[in-house]
Structure formats: C-alpha cells, structure tokens
Chains A and B, each alone.
Chain A
Amino acid sequence: MKKYALFLGCNIPARVRQYADSAVAVFEELGVGLVDIPMFNCCGYPVRNYDQTAFLLSAARNMALVKKAGLNDMLVMCNCCYGSLKKAEYVMKEGGRLRKKIDLLLARNDLEFSDSIQVKHLLSVLYVDVGIEMIRNKVSQPFGDLKIGTYYGCHALRPSKITQFDDPVAPSLFDELVELTGAQSVDWPSRLECCGAPLTGVNDHLAMSMADKKLSDARDAGAEYLCTACPFCYMQFNAARENGCSSILYPQLLGLSMGIDRETLGVSDHMCRTCTHSGQAA
C-alpha cells in the first residue's frame, strides 16, 4: 500500500488532537501507511494576508520535506492547510518567476521542490485512493437512523481549478463517504458556505453569525450532527454550538462504524450519545 506523509498542521496537535488520533486509527484499520515528518512547518495559510513570499516558502518547504523523506503524497487533514498547499503546489508547478524565487530560498536550506509531489485531502485519499469498496468492507457496525449534515469546507472545494477536489457546486464525495457508515446524509441550505473561522479573532460578530447560521440550518434540515473534516470548521462550530447541533470529525464517525473504540477515537460521551445509540441499534 502507498505511503503518505501525514501533514497535521498547527491546530490539530495543539487543539484537536482527537482528529489526528481517530484518523491514524482509521487508516491503520484500512492498511494505509502514514509517515510522520516532525520538521514540518506551518502551511503558510495565516501569513497569506501579510506576505506572499512567506506564504509560498512555508508551503513549499513542507513539500520539499516530503520529497526529502522519499515520499510523493502528502495527506492533509485541515482545509485551510489543504487550500494553502494546493495553491502553492499549483504556483510552483506552473513555474515562472515565483518558482525561481522560492527554489532559491529552498536551496539555502538544502531543500528542493519536486513536481512529483501530490497534495491530497484526507477525504480524497479515502474516496479515491483507498476506495469506497475497501471502506465498505471494513464497516462492521453501521449506524441505523443517524442523520448527518456534511460540511465540505471552502478550501477543499474552491477554487476548484486548483483544489481539484469535487464538483464545487454540487459535490457528493463527502456525502457518499458519510453514507458508507450507514448514516443518512441530509441536504441542507448553507452546506457549501464558509464556517466563519477565518474571521474569528478579526471580526468575531461576522464570524460567529456565519457559524450560527450553519448550525441552525443543519438542525432545521434534521441533521443530528455536522460532520467536518477540518479543525478550523470543527473548532468554529464548537465555539458556537449553543445554538444548533454538535459536530463530529469524519474519522471519528467512520471509526465508530468500523467498531474502533470511542477512547481511541477521542469521542466523548456527551458528544456522541446519539451516534453510539444508533450504532448499537444497527
């Protein structure tokens, strides 16, 4: 089986540890090899507002580290990291003036970018590389009547020319992945819009109203949980949770349906009462 360099970014190890734990457990079950590269740095996303060289160099160094480790594929678990790395991958592979500039800066660190590097989203790896059938075979405890609202997140979907994730207007990849667990993916109005996290700390009123709208829209459409595959969306929804349904990370949902224990997945009792009830009913 192919090996992936696991890119966790800054938020997951510090604040959403359960996301990493559950993903590692799920991929182990699926027989996918994940390689930890301890010297990875920030994807460049937060500095993109400020300086484009700093952004591109940060992103490109990570890709160069993947190459140095003898790998080609990078598995990314955060939408903002993904968007940022995808953008940098695109700019670097396109070549030109910026590529030259970044190549020089990388060379100063004894690193080199390689066109063979592929930045991949966690969900794409599951859907495309691992494959639906493989996952279906591993689902041993499918949920019964659990209703899930999928939340794709902006930087996975758009700009579609660069992210190449799914149809940006009518995506279905995540919904299919959710339905593999036996849960039902409900359609809901603002599922393709922004969670507001980019403005948390900058314009909190706007940011929170974005999050609140998602949570109440999903609840109104009958979803019991919002399922995300991004630490920013997840933290944003948790910060706003009072007004709507709770959220769950996709590897946790998948892990539960595979029969992985809740402790490994970092699923708290409160958080997933409904999930496990449905699981047992199935």
Chain B
Amino acid sequence: MVFNILLYASLIIFFIGLIYKVYRWFSRNVTVAARDVAAPARMLAAIKGIFSVLFSSKIATLVRVFFVDVLLQQRILKIDAIRWLTHFLIFSGFMMLLLMHALDSLITEPLFAGYHSTKNPFMFLRDFFALMVCVGIALAVYRRFFLKIFQVKNSGQDKYALTILAVIVLSGIWLEGLKISSYSEFQNMVEEYSWIDDKTEKAALESLWVKKFGLVSPNTDLQSDAAAMALGRESHENYCADCHSSIGWAFTGIIAAKIISPVALLLDRIHIVDILYYIHIMACFIGLAYLPFSKMFHIIATPLILMAGAVMDRETSNAVNIATRQAIELDACTHCGICSMHCSAIMVSEALANDYVLPSEKMVALKTLTTGKGIGSAEMKAVREGVYMCTNCDRCTVVCPSGINLKELWPGVRENLVQGEIPEPLLLSPFSFVRGLNRADFVADDYSAPLRSARQTLAGKFDSLIDADNPLDLGETDGLDLSSYPGDATFAYCFECRNCTTVCPVVGHYDNPEAELGLLPHQIMCCLGLGMNEMAYGARMIWDCLACYQCQEHCPQNVSVTDLIYRLKNLAVENVKEA
C-alpha cells in the first residue's frame, strides 16, 4: 500500500517533470536561431524531421549509433578506457538491476518461469550487478575527488548523482545482508512456507541456516552435530530449497551479513530490515521523481543527441530543429569535464582564474541563463569573458562523449552575450578571427555594433591630440607597471626618427592616419617617455596594430615597439576591467 502510493507519487512527479522538460526543449532558445518560432511549430518541425529520417536510409545510421554510441558508449572509450569502464559499469549494472530486479514482476517473472530473487542465476546476478555499480561509483568518486584534475569541477548535481546511486545500491546490499542474518525474517519464512511441527526438526533447520545461510539466532542451545545437520538439510530440501540457492552466491549480501553478525540480534530487534527497506525504496523513488530535474536526465537526453547528431547537419537540417537540438544538448551534458581537459584555452582559464573559459563550466552557466535565473553582474562578466575566450579549435566537439555539437553552440551564445549593453574588450583580439571570417552571416548592424562599442570603451580618449588648436592635456603621469617584461623599458631609447611610423603598414593604409589612429607609433613611444601611459594606451592605433613587428625590426635604437604596444593593450584592458 505505502509502496504503491510512493511509487505512483514518484511516477506522477517523474512524468510531470518529463513533460515540462520536453516542453522546454521546444520553448527554450539557447541561441537566437528560432527566437520567433513558437513551441507548437517547433514540435511539428521536429516530428516532420523525425519521420523523414525514419523513412529514409538514415535509419541504418540511427540503429548503428544506438548500439555503438548509446549502448556501448564508444565515444567515451575513444577518449579514456578507464572512464569508459567507470561509466559502463554504472550504466550496465544499474540498467540490469532496473530490468531484472526493480521491474521483476513486469519483466523477469513473465520471462522466466520459476523466478525467485533468492534463486540462481538471479540471486548471483543481482549481487554481481550491484558490485558492478559499486566499482563504477568508486572509480568515479576517485576520479572526481581524489585525482584532483583541476579542470574537472564538481557541481552539486555531480555530487547528487553519485550520492543517489550509492544510496540505492549500498542500501540494497545492506538490506540483503540484514535479511540474511535476521532471525525474525527467518521465523516468518518458516511459519509461512513450512509446516514443521516437530521441535527438533525446527531446531535442526535453524541450525543449518545458522551454519550455512548466515542466520544469526538468539538460541544458544542449537545442535550442530552431523545428525542435526542431516535432519536440517532434509527439512531444507523439503521447504526452502525450491526458492533458495546456496547463500554463497549472494556474495555481497553475505559479506554484509558477516560484518553485522555481532550486532545482528540487536538490529533485528529494532526492525532495521524495515527501516532499510524504506531507505532503499525511498532512494529509488526520489531518484525517479527527481530524475527529470537532475543530471541523471542525461539518460534520456544524451541518447537523443547522439542519434540526432548522426543524422543532422547545419546545411540540410531545418534551422528550427537545430535550435531544438541545442536546447536538448543542455540536458545531454553530464558535466563530465572531458571537454575542459582538452580545451585549448585551458591555461587561460588558470591564469585568469576564470572557470567559465572551460566548456563544461560554460554549459553550467548556459543552463542557468536559459532557465531565466539571474547571474550576478560580476559573475556575468566572467561568463562573458569565458565565452569569448575560445580559439574555435573545435576540440570540445570532437571529444564530447555525449555528442554535443559545442562548436555550433558557442557562436550563437557568444553573440547573445556581446550584443548587450556592456562592451567586451576581447572583441578586439584574434579571438574574433572566426567571427570575422563568418561576417557575411550577420544581419544589419549585429556584426559591427559590438566592435564599435568595444573600441569606444578601450580607445579614443585623447581626441584633443588631433585638433592642433586645442591645448594638449598632459594629464597626470600614472604608476602603471611597465617594467615586468623584457624590453618594457626600451621606449627610453627612442630618439624620434619615426622609422616605426614610416614602415607601419597600418599608418600607410590611411590617408589621414593621425585622424584615424589618434597617435602614431613614434608618438606612442614619446608618450611613454613622458610617463603618460594613459594617453598611450588610449590611442586607437594600438587596436589597429597588426603586431607584424615591422616597427620593432626597423628601430635603430632597439626599442621593442610592438611588444610595448602589446603591453599597452594589456594595460588598457586592465583599466577597463577595473572600472
């Protein structure tokens, strides 16, 4: 009764959660692709897409991916055999427990006549599958908490997932152990399944079970001689053996029973079997009810993404379906951290102490952002920096075991973030290279506006330089550090021969370079000589610098002109970040 109420309650929550999550797949916009398409239209597009695949030759691809990537998880194996083993042990062990043990009345009983959970092979298999899950969890805990790979972060969801699995499996094992040793369980069984009247025979059976089946009896006067054993064995054959294999096969349970045997009688008296039973089923039901809202939802989303990824591509698939796939991808991420371990910007993340450079952490931020939860402004700054700090090397996509097409996700996410009010200094760096290559894909001013605002924030502060009639504002000299880098102090050698400006291809490009660039290279060196660093890093010139090193190569005084311009860019960025 209680069991059924709990079961149905958790099933109802599970299904409500599932419907909600599926609805979110069709209503959530990760990028701007399907902003104007309503959820019903997206569902329709998805159904059409699915049918067109099912009735085409692509079905063979789907079947192959289902076996190779979903069931056998080849993508994890390609990256790391130990990680594959970890995941496969948990996945296959738990799935088998679910099918054989949890759903025994629906699956195992109808399939196998004479099924009893205490009979082999089922008794052995249940323990074996439990052991598989335990080993998998132990490996996962070791990797996540003891290996200290600093790109692998542990979120609350990661801890929850491991905890719920561990509670389910360990409570099951201890429950089995307690049942084995429990005297009251034994008595109940004898009463229910035997009709022994003879006291000696009863004692003999009990004695046999104490000897051979891990039972802990309060009776101290049990006979264990050969005759008693033979009688017990006979009785066992008559009443018990049909449903009970040798207990040694329940190897995890018997170990648990042995461990608790000194206190088994005490535990039995406080009905610990019932308590543990409720812990076990409650953990299962919590796991089930909470599944759509937890990381465990990947068991539904990831197979979908693996299969969708194999039959969809940007050129031929409906853009609306791509948007839907991206929404599902957020649920398919298991936060395993493989992408972050392979991220090209890994050291940038460390040097700047910004976790959001790492793809796995960007996914976490993205999940929060798309659920409409706010992110604090300081954290948002870090997210924006992290999202832009991507070299577009596509490695995250190549290695992702869930098959998430991250390389198609990032550009859209990036645009969502840079199109806002706050300028992003990183736009004025080679991180923009791929954005620049794809500039034809942008509409209206979406391409140039963020660049303009970044430029306005970083440069162009000393316009008075251009107007010869204005008095020159020398400002204050500041104490910014320009001495940590080799060559930083070389500006002092500049004797203004203007070679740097003459050979500069950027200066040569403009008809009126001073108007466009604010300060020319030799003037920047001059500013530094006067201690006017702020004026120097306010010049637009430094953001148009190609870093081609012509100036530095041709300087007769060995001034590190290009290196100094790099340093000025760093200073300008620091300045904006602090503001």
Interface residue ranges, A against B (CB under 8 Å): 9-11, 13-15, 38-39, 41-42, 44-54, 57-58, 61, 80, 83, 90-91, 94, 96-98, 105, 108-109, 154-155, 157-160, 168, 193-194, 196-204, 206-207, 209-210, 232, 235, 239
Contact = CB atoms under 8 A, between A and B. Distances in A.
Contacts of B552: 158-159
Given A98-B485, A200-B437, A206-B509, A57 B430 contact: no
B484 A42 contact: no
A2 to B, nearest CB: 27
24 contacts: A13-B393, A42-B348, A45-B430, A49-B430, A49-B569, A50-B570, A51-B352, A51-B570, A51-B573, A58-B351, A61-B347, A96-B486, A98-B484, A154-B547, A158-B549, A159-B549, A194-B550, A199-B546, A200-B433, A201-B432, A201-B435, A202-B427, A202-B428, A235-B437
A90 B342 CA distance: 26
A206 B506 contact: yes
Nearest to B426: A50
Nearest to B430: A46
A239 B343 CA distance: 27
Contacts of A83: 549
A203 B544 contact: yes
Contacts of A57: 347-348, 350-351
B544 A199 contact: yes
B429 A202 contact: yes
Interface string B532-576: 000000000001101111101100000010100011011001000
Contacts of B345: 41-42, 47, 58
B392 to A, nearest CB: 6
B344 A194 contact: no
B412 interface: no
A88 B239 CA distance: 80
A233 B547 CA distance: 14
Interface string B443-457: 000000001000000
A230 to B, nearest CB: 13
B423 to A, nearest CB: 14
Contacts of A58: 345, 347-348, 351
Given A194-B505, A206-B544, 13 more contacts: A41-B345, A46-B429, A47-B389, A51-B351, A97-B484, A158-B553, A159-B549, A159-B552, A199-B546, A201-B437, A202-B544, A204-B436, A232-B433
Contact of A54 (B352, B485, B509): B352
Contacts of B350: 57, 105, 108-109
B161 to A, nearest CB: 27
Interface in B342-366: 342-348, 350-352
Interface in B326-347: 342-347
A191 B101 CA distance: 74
B553 A160 contact: yes
Contact of B391 (A42, A50, A159): A42
B547 A193 contact: no
Nearest to A59: B347
Majority-rule SS of B interface residues: helix
Contacts of A41: 343-347
B391 A46 contact: yes
B425 interface: yes
A94 to B, nearest CB: 6
A209 B506 CA distance: 10
A53 B351 contact: yes
B567 A201 contact: no
Given A49-B573, A94-B486, A200-B437, A54 B347 contact: yes
A196 B546 contact: yes
A80 B343 CA distance: 19
A65 B358 CA distance: 20
Given A51-B351, A98-B484, A202 B436 contact: yes
B434 interface: yes
Contacts of B352: 51, 54
A241 to B, nearest CB: 13
B142 interface: no
Query: B342, B395, B505 — which one has the most chain A CB atoms within 10 A of its CB?
Result: B505
A14 B430 contact: no
A160 B346 CA distance: 29
Contacts of A193: 505, 548, 550
Contacts of B486: 90-91, 94, 96, 98
Q: Give me the 9 closest cross-chain CB pairs, A-B, nearest first.
A: A201-B436, A201-B432, A10-B393, A158-B549, A54-B351, A194-B548, A200-B436, A46-B430, A10-B391
A201 B433 contact: yes
Interface string B363-395: 000000000000000000000000001011111
A52 B451 contact: no
A11 B347 CA distance: 18
Contacts of B342: 38-39
B269 interface: no
Contacts of A159: 549, 552-553, 560, 562
Contacts of A98: 484-486
A47 to B, nearest CB: 5
A14 B428 CA distance: 22
A277 to B, nearest CB: 30
